[in-house]
Amino acid sequence: MDPARGEAVKRAVKANFDDSAADYDEFEKATGLFSFLTRELVFRSGIQMGMTVVDAGCGTGISTALVREVVGNGSYITGIDLSTAMLEQARRRVPGARFIEGDAEKLELLFPPESKDAVLYNACVFLLPDAPASFRGARSILRQNGTVAMNFITGTYSDGHELFNELFPAWTGGGTFPAPRFPCDTSRLQEYLEGAGFRDINRGFTEKDVGLDGIRRFYSVPAQSASLYPKLPADGRRAAVGRMFDLAAGKGVHSASMRWSWLVARK
């Protein structure tokens, strides 16, 4: 992505997440999705007591709090986010942890070289316009054999059928409702990791049933509705998302799950 375009995307991401802090926490209370994803990622990355960790895109600190339970001390973990409002929630949630309002694509400017044991991108890497730059920065701040780990949404399913790319087009004849689009091409993440010099790359996926109401809640959050209707204002996006999921409910959909892929690599 062109650098000027990337900076514009980051400004939009920041604005959307500044409007999303309360909605994110309400969504988490209803579904537990981000806690589920964090525990999975911490397990896959091998984070242990006493390790120093960067929580990139930490949001309201849900992931930061869970990592603190594992590493044993808030001072061992630093959360980074572009959003002032999300970080205000995070500081209240995880007192003692360090938080930086900063750019996860410039990690090498925020931390000394070879000073961290792990960098986590929990539910955020797909929002990075320049993921290769972020991975190069992550490698520079990791100690030898340090870990980078991430996850990203790869689909929303009901009874084995993908909601946005299969069911909505079938119900409407195609073209009526959009599928989510994100700044990062997640199909190339392994290539980006290899290009940054990481090794021992492992990948897989995990899935959590959050129900149709949970999916509606997720895409009603201002920061996520922008992935569907980026040109509409927040209220217009929420209304459009409501129409999508009213249709799904009218078609008898109740159970729905979110599938997330994960990648873990070492320096």
SS (H, E, C) 60-91: CCHHHHHHHHHHCCHHHEEEEECCHHHHHHHH
Question: CB–CB of 52/116 below 8 Å?
Answer: yes
CATH superfamily of 3-156+182-211+257-266: Vaccinia Virus protein VP39 (3.40.50.150)
Regions of the chain short of the pLDDT cut 50: none
The secondary structure element, H or E, covering residue 101 is strand 98-101
Integer Cα distance of 109 and 145 in angstroms = 21
151: nearest Cα among 39, 28, 47, 230: 39
Ordered by start, the domain boundaries in the chain are: 3-156+182-211+257-266
The structure tokens listed for 51 are: 């390790």
Token pair 């520079």 is found at: 140
CB-based contacts of 64: which residues, under 8 Å, 6+ apart?
55, 58, 77, 79, 90, 93, 94, 97, 99
The structure tokens listed for 2 are: 């062109």
* Beta strands per DSSP E along 102-235: 116-121, 142-158, 161-162, 199-209
The structure tokens listed for 229 are: 């209707």
Question: CB–CB of 244/251 below 8 Å?
Answer: no
Residue 73: predicted pLDDT: 87
Residue 174: predicted pLDDT: 82
Half-sphere exposure of 189 (CA within 13 A, CB side): 27
Residue 110: predicted pLDDT: 97
